[in-house]
Structure 1
Amino acid sequence: MDIVLLDGYSLNADLTWSKLSNLGNCTFYDQTPVDDTEEIIKRIDNAEIVITHKTPLRNEVLKQVPNLKYIGIMGTGYDVVDIESAHQHDIIVTNVPTYGTDAVAQFTFSLLLEVTGQVGLHNQLIHEGKWSKVPDFTFWDKPLYELKGKTLGLIGYGRIAQKVAELGHAFSMNIIFYNHRPKEVNVPWIKQVPLDELLRQSDVISLHVIQTPDTINLINKETISKMKKNVIILNTARGKLINETDIAEALNNDRIYALATDVVSKEPISEDNPLLTAKNCYITPHIAWAPLETRERLLEITVNNLKSYLTGTPTNVI
């Protein structure tokens, strides 16, 4: 059985593919050009099984690979695959829904603590010699903020958001959330609210929804206009949830205080992305998912998904 892995490098620069290799005749590619449909089709060829991380599999690909029966997505988000087309071509698609909950929640708070505590900036200034030159025992070059008593608004309330809520509660924040479908809440310290109310109340807004036609550009001029002027926006979900032009303008005009994001609309980031020149904008290169332990877990579940498919009992099917 032929198995093709289209883009393994980012996951597996320091891990081993041996468990996957044991399941069939494997061909591994470090990267596959995401915009080259012909090359993607050529690499899949007659394989029955394809594993992808970020290489897109759209209808124009799926309709030309008739032997393909299974797509394993190495990740939680599944916007990389045209799910409707896959269903039409009787292709099973699986993902890995729970591997990164703790890591992404941890990173979400890393972004927030960087904005409010300015650790990186002051570490840099000290190494540049500034502390040695001040007359007092301390100095700070940007405002520092306590989280206690601030309102953390979560847009989306899946596993990661729930973990972020727990961390926010541990910091004595007030926690509210909006979810497109109402969710049962079993703790007294969190409140479910409509989206407009969340936008008005929140000192910090954290995005935890998948990318769909309804969530693309969720953060835009209109929604920004409903927020507090000093709001901090966090995004560890998908870059296209934010209209980058609108939020860059809001940052530069002091309409919002800060954006801290691990994702952008096009990755790697384009040199002309407006966020690169926006004030008080913190950008990391899509690494919330990348701790070693998290990637080990992701690889293990990816292999187990394939094993389940091969035994006729597929799991984590989209």
Structure 2
Amino acid sequence: AGIRAGRWAAGPDWCFWDTPQVELTGKVMGILGFGTIGHRVGELAHAFGMKVMAASPRKSAAEAAASAAPASYPVDFVERDELFRASDVLSLHCPLTDQTRGIINASTLAMMKDGAILLNLARGPLLDEAAVAAALASGKLGGLGADVASVEPIKADNPLLQSPNTLLTPHIAWATLAARRNIIRIMAENIAGWMKGEPKSVVNKAYLV
């Protein structure tokens, strides 16, 4: 919009910007929950020259490293609190359980670097939204990107709607036509596999009978 309005052409320099620029190379991408999606996020972060660190909300660093699928890029598995302290960008990819509900709260936010960026691409209740809003308002958090909220559609009194440096999307990351077709295909393959006695996409193999 600024270019179309003539700001670039009228400016004294060969470029312009309204907000500070962020260099990703050398920064730490912290991933809480290193499953299929977290693994892919790490791959993208590595492509930008970021150092990738990962932790599990329920396993030790050694257990997470032993159970993770092999990665084509270097990953440091650390304990959860170390992940919070080290991350320049913290991306959440864990399920919502009793252990992870409100895992980002005043206490864990206090561990994080000043100005760190938080991404919630998992489930809204992973955040204590009031605490996150307060951290954004104070500048403790440098920014929030979230595709989810604690109540969806988001309510008018959600504190994140008034937070600075906040980008919210309406739980839309899954919703491309290709992704929805993929969901239907996977469901059909799972049903067919189960009927043949060859279950697919098994999460808890211990419960197969």
Q: TM-score range by the shorter chain?
A: 0.7 to 0.9
Confirm whether residue 295 of structure 1 aligns to residue 180 of structure 2.
Answer: yes
SS in 2 for 1:233: strand
The letter for the 2-side match of 1:283 is L
SS in 1 for 2:112: coil
Matches within 5 A, 1:263-282: 263-282=148-167
Shift of 1:243: 0.9
SS in 2 for 1:125: coil
Deviation per residue, 1:120-156 (Å, 9 max, x gap): xxxx333455334433332100011111000111111
2:37 to 157, 160, 165: 160
Confirm whether residue 229 of structure 1 aligns to residue 106 of structure 2.
Answer: no
1:304 to 189, 197, 203: 189
1:138 to 12, 15, 20: 15
- 1:214 alignment counterpart: 99
Distance 1:271 1:168, change over 3 A: same
Deviation per residue, 1:264-314 (Å, 9 max, x gap): 111111111111110000111111112222211111122333444566766
Question: What percent of counterpart residues are identical?
Answer: 41
SS in 1 for 2:111: coil
- 2:147 alignment counterpart: 262
Confirm whether residue 250 of structure 1 aligns to residue 127 of structure 2.
Answer: no
Structure 2 gap segments, 5+ residues each: 205-209
CA distance in 1, matches of 2:149, 2:5: 30
The alignment of Structure 1 onto Structure 2 pairs a total of residues equal to: 195
- 2:24 alignment counterpart: 147
Matches within 5 A, 1:1-318: 124-179=1-56, 180-181=58-59, 182-183=63-64, 184=66, 186=70, 189-308=74-193, 315-316=200-201
- 2:207 alignment counterpart: none
CA distance in 2, matches of 1:210, 1:258: 22
Distance 1:315 1:284, change over 3 A: same
Distance 1:126 1:271, change over 3 A: farther
Deviation per residue, 1:155-181 (Å, 9 max, x gap): 111111111111111111111111122
TM-score by length of 2: 0.85
CA distance in 2, matches of 1:127, 1:224: 40
Q: Return 288-297 or 225-234, whichever deviates more.
A: 288-297
Deviation per residue, 1:243-279 (Å, 9 max, x gap): 1111011001111100011111111111111111100
CA distance in 1, matches of 2:135, 2:5: 31
Aligned CA-pair RMSD:
2.1
CA distance in 1, matches of 2:4, 2:121: 29
SS in 2 for 1:225: helix
Shift of 1:217: 0.7
CA distance in 2, matches of 1:154, 1:136: 38
From the CA coordinates, give the structure whose radius of gyration is larger.
1
TM-score by length of 1: 0.57
SS in 2 for 1:248: helix
Structure 1 gap segments, 5+ residues each: 1-123
